Chains A and B, each alone.
Chain A
Amino acid sequence: MDFEQFKEVVKDSIKDYLPESYGNATVELKDVIKNNDTHLTGLTVREEGTSIAPTIYLEDYFKAYETGDKNMDEIMTRIADLYDEASRDGISLNAEELVSNITDYETTKEKIMPRVVNKENNEERLKGMPHTDMGDLAVTYHVDLGDSDNGQMSVAVSNEMLNKYGVSVSELHDQACKNMEEMSPAKFETMVETLAHLMIPGYEDMTPDEKADARAQFEMPDPGMYVLSNDSKAFGAAAILDTETMDTIRNDVGDFYILPSSVHEVLIVPKREGMELSDLEAMVKEVNETQVAPNEVLSDHVYEYDPETKEIFRSDMAAEHQKEKEAAKEKKDVTKERPSLKEKLSEKKKEVASMKKEAKTPEKTKEMSGRG
């Protein structure tokens, strides 16, 4: 059975595994576009009278079927259990309540967070979403509905939602960056420290001495690499939008390369480490191909931060960035030298006023002297 047949079998037989109360439910297969234009097939079972329905992706279940990890009966039972749990535990109702005000900007604006994604790999998805270009990367916006017992819930801001919000993309961007700095501040630590948090149980609760001992036992030498993410550790690559953090990093480690390890974090390599750009680029490409899930890849390129323009640019396009920067500076200087039409008008007005004043002054003097 191939995936196409598998999808149809699941769709046609899911009701046989669900309680009788699902008798009038509508079963649909839906194509959902995720990050990097990854298409997933979702199975939606919508009960009568509900506006919200859980959707379960079928790809992982097909993998389990293909590898023989689970048989068809086990798969159907698991999917049906998931639907029933969502309904029984009120997860669907909870989600419905959470999105009830989502199209109202005033009540939603403080929950909007930015995410950094690859522009080229999201061509299809970005058509339906407001976004801000950042070279070959793009910033998208998501309403963070918070962390509950049922997990983290979020909704991507769509073009329709932005229309209802009645604000510009630039306003949305500023609001999202402000929220990120306040609610999910940047986290900058050494690679060893990050790995210790991930690999050593109870590391967070250790004293500084215990932490040093634990790291030593792990025999993990400090490679001089840093991890930049955020407090929530999800979609933390957006921390590169925080120019204050980027300036602080530059002050601490000097000029540096940015390795886009995933949409969740980036790696900082100080230039003082003396690494070749080509080696770093090859490393990013290879790790993306072998270790990063397709929907979590950020980019195959290496980037840098320009503290003067506060911009992120691709290292292999440093010469172009420099040219653009000089051209922008030149344009600014010319604009400064050449007065604008408004400035010219204002100058003229002043001249006329001054002429009128001069013309009136002798008469006044005459009058005054006459009085004397």
Chain B
Amino acid sequence: MYFESKDKGGIDSKSKEDQKFDRINKELRLKEYHERFMRLKGEKTKGGNN
């Protein structure tokens, strides 16, 4: 949610529900990096062995 103030700009509010989504999104992107990095490493090791 966001709060609109007449004279002090907008206030961003991250609810507990938003924070849960942030955690899930973080898990997804870090898992993706982890898997891709492992694959790259595997390919590199294979290449090195050849």
CA distance A194 to B28 in the complex (A): 12
B3-26 interface code vs A (CB 8 A; 1 in, 0 out): 111111111111110110011011
Does A217 sit within 8 A of B, measured CB to CB?
Answer: no
Q: Is the CB of A53 within 8 A of B30?
A: no
B48 to chain A, nearest CB (A): 9
Does A64 sit within 8 A of B, measured CB to CB?
Answer: no
Residue in A closest to B12 when the chains form the complex, CB atoms: A154
CA distance A233 to B15 in the complex (A): 15
Question: Chain B residues with Cβ under 8 A from A55's Cβ?
Answer: 1-4, 10
Within 8 A of B (CB), among A277-292: 279, 283, 286-287, 290-292
Question: Which one of A46, A160, A198, A283 lies within 8 Å of B36 (CB-CB)?
Answer: A283
Question: Which one of A154, A224, A261 lies within 8 Å of B30 (CB-CB)?
Answer: A261
Q: Is the CB of A234 within 8 A of B25?
A: no
Main SS class of interface, B? helix
Selected interface stretch from A91-99, A130-138, A348-356 = A91-99
Q: Is the CB of B33 within 8 A of A259?
A: yes
Within 8 A of B (CB), among A40-59: 42, 44, 46, 51-57
Q: Is the CB of B4 within 8 A of A53?
A: yes
Name which of B28, B36, B44 has the most chain A CB atoms within 10 A of its CB. B36
* CB contact under 8 A between A287 and B36, given known A223-B41, A264-B22: yes
CA distance A52 to B31 in the complex (A): 40
CA distance A39 to B44 in the complex (A): 42
CA distance A110 to B16 in the complex (A): 24
A184 to chain B, nearest CB (A): 15
Q: Is the CB of B30 within 8 A of A195?
A: yes
Q: Is the CB of A291 within 8 A of B28?
A: yes
Q: Is the CB of B1 within 8 A of A195?
A: no
Which residues from chain A sit less than 8 Å from chain B, CB to CB?
A: 30, 32, 42, 44, 46, 51-57, 82, 86, 91-92, 95-96, 98-99, 102-103, 145, 150-156, 158, 160-161, 191-192, 194-195, 198-199, 220-221, 223-225, 227, 233-234, 259, 261-262, 264-265, 267, 269, 273-275, 279, 283, 286-287, 290-293, 296
Besides A54-B1, A223-B41, 18 other A-B contacts (C-beta < 8 A): A42-B2, A51-B6, A53-B3, A54-B4, A55-B10, A82-B1, A151-B18, A153-B12, A153-B14, A154-B12, A156-B10, A158-B9, A192-B34, A198-B27, A261-B30, A275-B44, A292-B29, A293-B25
Which residues from chain B sit less than 8 Å from chain A, CB to CB?
A: 1-16, 18-19, 22-23, 25-34, 36-38, 40-41, 44
9 A-B pairs (CB sep. < 8 Å): A30-B4, A44-B4, A46-B4, A56-B2, A261-B29, A274-B44, A283-B33, A287-B29, A291-B29
